[in-house]
Structure 1
Amino acid sequence: MSEAPEPSVEDARGFAGVPDSTQRLWTPHRMAYIGGQDKPDDPDDAEQCPFCSAPGRDDEDALIVHRGEVAYVILNLYPYNTGHLLVCPFRHVADYTELTEAEVAEVAALTRTAMRVVREVSSPAGFNLGMNQGEVAGAGIAAHLHQHVVPRWMGDANFLPVVGRTKALPILLADTRAMYAEAWPA
């Protein structure tokens, strides 16, 4: 019986930018985020948590758009797209199943209102909504639950970040926060 040949491993460095059946997309600009820039040293320490510290700061400085009773809306400091909002409970809680009924209701209501406000101000064609539960699921700050509200426009996913190592955000975060906060219903 003959031995099976050793499997060969291709060097993937030559594949960047070469289309094939898997259509790889290289996003080196995300490495600072993936590497943990600005993440707390101890994710379970609420004092280090950016979602716990933000409500203790001025809304403009913290990029908070709206404060509710048990949750609030804040702009994402590392947005996937212009106008990327996060809906967070004030309480330091990691898992959706640990939310109180009041927190579940307000996170849902604030998400709906955020979509309405963003539609009014920015006219997106659609949205991505979601929660990444756990670090393995993509949660950048896994210890504090947050709902993503990401406005989307036709053609907004271009190759500028890959080719030019640049993400084009046509408006400053502070200006976006001000417009959304002003449009938020009383």
Structure 2
Amino acid sequence: MEIQPYRFESIYSLGHNCQVAAQLKRNGLRRQAGPWDWFNFASAAEFCGVIRRRFEGFMQLEHLEAYGKSVNNYYVRDRQSTCLSFHDFKNTPNQPPLYDYAEFRERLDRRIARFNDCLSSERRVLLVRIIQHQHEAEAIYASIHETYANPHISMLFILHGPESDISKLPSFAEDARLVRIPRGRTWEGDTEAWAAIQSKIRLE
């Protein structure tokens, strides 16, 4: 089954990690940043909860904890949702963790407002998410459609597998597509597979 229509006015990553946003950008399909682009948010159940709450309480300062760090950034967990951030909070000498939260919050709120506005409009939208199990797709699909009024939302769900080819999987809805692709060797995934599945998608 192919996604119809092929042309979209907006395309957003739904995570669960930054591979989706990176591959959308690589293939010329990422026009603007979305709220999920650079988080690691593997739990489909918690993700659906954030969607249904329209982000209420999401990544609020009182729920955040720094649990590690790299040379450049702190690793931060939202205890309420289990969402992880690896890129948003700077590791700056002589500054405590999360000292730059206000800057992060302003950026995230702007992206959330843009996302909510788009999914409450009538623009043709494609949402793309990596999932770990097929049943997650149906749960995420339901949470989106129960929360947002836009009747023109299509979804593309990506599963990683050990096979070297691309496989289309049976879908549960006309406006949802499930595809299994090779896992790839780096955090960016299999670039050729991503290019193949996005080759017929156009962003107007």
Q: Bin the TM-score by the shorter chain.
A: under 0.3
TM-score, length of structure 1 as denominator length: 0.26
TM-score, length of structure 2 as denominator length: 0.25
Structure number with higher helix proportion: 1
Rg larger in structure: 1
